[in-house]
Amino acid sequence: GAVVSQHPSRVICKSGTSVKIECRSLDFQATTMFWYRQFPKQSLMLMATSNEGSKATYEQGVEKDKFLINHASLTLSTLTVTSAHPEDSSFYICSAAIRPSIGRAFFGQGTRLTVV
Amino acid sequence: DQQVKQNSPSLSVQEGRISILNCDYTNSMFDYFLWYKKYPAEGPTFLISISSIKDKNEDGRFTVFLNKSAKHLSLHIVPSQPGDSAVYFCAASAKSGNQFYFGTGTSLTVIP
């Protein structure tokens, strides 16, 4: 099946620094990528949807200046957590999908971010 | 507003028996549903899906049932195996795109 690679799998950073997470579709072209965040014992929460070459659409309550998303190519999307704070510590997951087929999206392995 | 709900946070089942995981949704525009399995510190992996034109879809040990009038779907795993122990999320999508709304997950433990 299709593979989505997310890197890094774990990152620890200091408060105030920025962290970039990459999401790559390895064997298909993903016109749409999604970024999710999961808090412990909670559901995956959609943060934003990005289409290649256009600005990301953020869900309500997600700060677009804090969570910068770039979808520069059909195989790569990045999420940059800027000026990270301890409350940003979470598990971040990307998924990639091919339009126009709906349904099955392929998920990355996730990134555990810890801000100290 | 949680549009997809999994009201049972955990479930324990004996190996070899049937596991039934439930999911309810509120948005009548949802027409495609999926179940994902997730191990700790890993991304979700796709299990099985169903579109609203069907009421049942089967894939090996996994069967998903959809009751549109009740806005309810369920995942049956039979026979359950210890390797099935994981958190299971249901997710729903509307025709408009690939955006999914997830339930809060049910942690399944299959006891050997």
Residue A100 has pLDDT above 50, yes or no: no
Say what the pLDDT of residue B109 is.
97
Under 8 Å between Cβ of A8 and A54: no
> Are A43 and B44 a contacting pair at CB < 8 A?
no
Residues of chain A with C-beta less than 8 angstroms from the C-beta of B86: none
Burial letters for B13-42: b for 16+ Cβ neighbours within 10 Å, e otherwise? beeeeebbbbbbbeeeebbbbbbbbbeeeb
HSE (side-chain half, CA atoms, 13 Å) at A63: 8
Range in A53-62, A72-81, B50-59 with the lowest mean pLDDT: A53-62
pLDDT tens-digit series, residues A18-39: 999 999 988 888 888 889 998 7
Distance of CA A4 to the CA centre of its chain: 11
Residue A48 has pLDDT above 50, yes or no: yes
Question: Which of B34, B43, B101 is nearest residue A110 as measured by Cβ atoms?
Answer: B43
Query: Residue B17's pLDDT band (boundaries 50, 70, 90)?
Result: very high
Interface test with B, best of A22, A42, A44, A94 (most B CBs within 10 A): A44
Say what the pLDDT of residue B12 is.
97
Residue B15 identity: E
Say what the pLDDT of residue B98 is.
57
> Are A108 and B43 a contacting pair at CB < 8 A?
yes
More confident residue, B42 or A107: A107
CA distance B5 to B11: 15
Query: Residue B83's pLDDT band (boundaries 50, 70, 90)?
Result: very high
Say what the pLDDT of residue B18 is.
98
Residues of chain B with C-beta less than 8 angstroms from the C-beta of A90: none
Q: What is the DSSP string of A1-36?
A: ---EEEE-SEEEE-TT--EEEEEEESSS--SEEEEE
* A to B CB pairs, distance under 8 Å: 67
Say what the pLDDT of residue B96 is.
57
Residue B82 has pLDDT above 50, yes or no: yes
